[in-house]
Structures are given as structure tokens and as C-alpha cells.
Amino acid sequence: MKRISRKFLTLCGLFSILSQPAQAWNSQSHQSINAAALDVLEIEHFATSKINFVDHAAEVFRFASPGRLFRHYQVPLPEDLKRQRDVNMWFRATIEYRNQGFGGLKYGNMHLVFDDIVELAKRQSDPNAKMLLTLYASAMIAVAYQPTHTVSFFDHRTFSQGDRNGELYCLSKVRNETAGNCNLTLSGFWNSMTFPGLKADADEEKMAIQDIITDTADLAPHIYATRHGHRPVENYFRINYALGEAQQKKAAQQVSHYLRYIFESTL
């Protein structure tokens, strides 16, 4: 059996910041994205697995390692993943953004692990292992379409170390620079977006994960088109809600593309 590269294993082990992976969007949004992807394929669920692709869409964010996730569902862990202790950086691909433009990748390795996870999922004969790995892949796609998880704002004053993917960037009036005095953060605003009845964007062609990340990062001027610590005008919220819905539609179509690839022999 083809094994994941040593480079992949080494890079995954280098990063460990949080005990749980950072979740972009919310659980309902991840479910809506996966449901819309299945609609494209004209199926309701994968009958061969006890793990539901829609209901369990955000389960991968509950567990710090693949081992914990697979044990929870009593599914044998693929040999390729037994050395993985932390998947937090699987869900991060953060590009530096400043008022002057973009910098380089600051942290995260989603762009390095995604293809390996997709190929590993495709090779699985155990339907439950295949589904859990597919949930990792679909979650990474959804995260890659969420702007606050692909960029972090830097400046020379307030955010010299970055705004932690919008966690410190405040969309309400604050009396000082601490996030504890903020009623609505940029990341909180984007993570709260949910669009009932979501439909996939049929015009979205299959893309490499790196291209998704950079395309999403290009939305930075829109999401940071308001001052930190001041409530934005209503038009800011309308524009960004529209962007959020468009991003989730694109994510759903992209998930459907990769589902076709992973399950092509059974669809």
C-alpha cells in the first residue's frame, strides 16, 4: 500500500498550538455544505457507512488527533495516521495581510496535507475509515473557503503579531485593545454565518486546495473594510453576508467534486 510521505508526517508533527482544531463556520454550516454537496450527486447518504456525512460533518473538530476520532467511532486507524498527535494545523493556512497588501504564509499546513488525506480516503476499503477521512477532507475544503481562516491582519501597532485570524479584530466599539471588551469579533461574525437551504454553486470547477486558499485570501480587503474597534456601517454586513453565502456555495460544489473522486467506484 502506498504510504504518506515522510515530509507529510514530519510537517504535521511540527505544529501544535491548541488542544482542538480551530473550526471555521459553525456546525450547522458544515452540515449545510455537506448536504448541498450530496444534492449535487443526487444522493442522500452513503449507506455503507455508519457515520453520516451530513450529521457528523463537524465531528473532526471535536478531536485533537485522528486516533481519538477513530477510537470514538470504534474504527481501526489507518497505519499512515498512527503517528499524528495533533491535527490543528490541518485546518489552518493563514496568509499575512496588511494594508499595503499580502505577505507570505504565516502558519498552517492544510495545503501540504489535503491531497494526502484525499488519496488515503480513496484507498480505504473499510467504509467507516473512508468516511472519517472524507470528513477531514470536506472540513478542510469548507475551512479553506472561510476568509478569516486564510488571512490574518498585521500592522505595526495593534496587531504586530497578527489578529489571530480575526479573533482579536473587533466589529464593535471597545474602550481598549483587549478582545474581552469586544461584543463581536471578525471571526465570530464569519463563524456565525448559516444559510438554510444552501445550494452548491454549479459553476465552481474543481480546484486544488492551494488555489482555493489564495482565492479566498483575496477577499481580505472586503472583510477588513472597516476599522478595528468601531461598529461597521450596515452595508458592510450586507456585503459580507453575501460573500459568506457565495463562499459556502462554492465550498459545497468543491466538496461534491472531491466526493466524486474519492467514491467514484461506488457512486
Instruction: List pLDDT tens digits, range 32-79.
Output: 999 999 999 998 888 789 999 999 999 999 999 999 999 999 999 999
Domain ranges of the chain: 6-192+203-262
pLDDT tens-digit readout, 205-252: 999 999 999 999 999 999 999 999 999 999 999 999 999 999 999 999
pLDDT score of 23: 76
- 8, 116 in Cβ contact below 8 A? yes
How far, in Å, CA of 175 to CA of 196, rounded?
A: 36
pLDDT at 113 over 70: yes
Cβ burial of 141 (10 Å; 0-12, 13-18, 19+) is buried
pLDDT score of 226: 95
How far, in Å, CA of 189 to CA of 29, rounded?
A: 13
Task: Just give the CATH number of 6-192+203-262.
Answer: 1.10.575
pLDDT at 95 over 90: yes
pLDDT band for position 134 (cuts 50, 70, 90): very high
In which element (H, E) is residue 94 found?
strand 94-98
pLDDT band for position 173 (cuts 50, 70, 90): confident
pLDDT band for position 118 (cuts 50, 70, 90): very high
In one-letter notation, the amino acid at residue 120 is L
Cβ burial of 157 (10 Å; 0-12, 13-18, 19+) is exposed
Mean predicted confidence (pLDDT) in 96-123 = 92
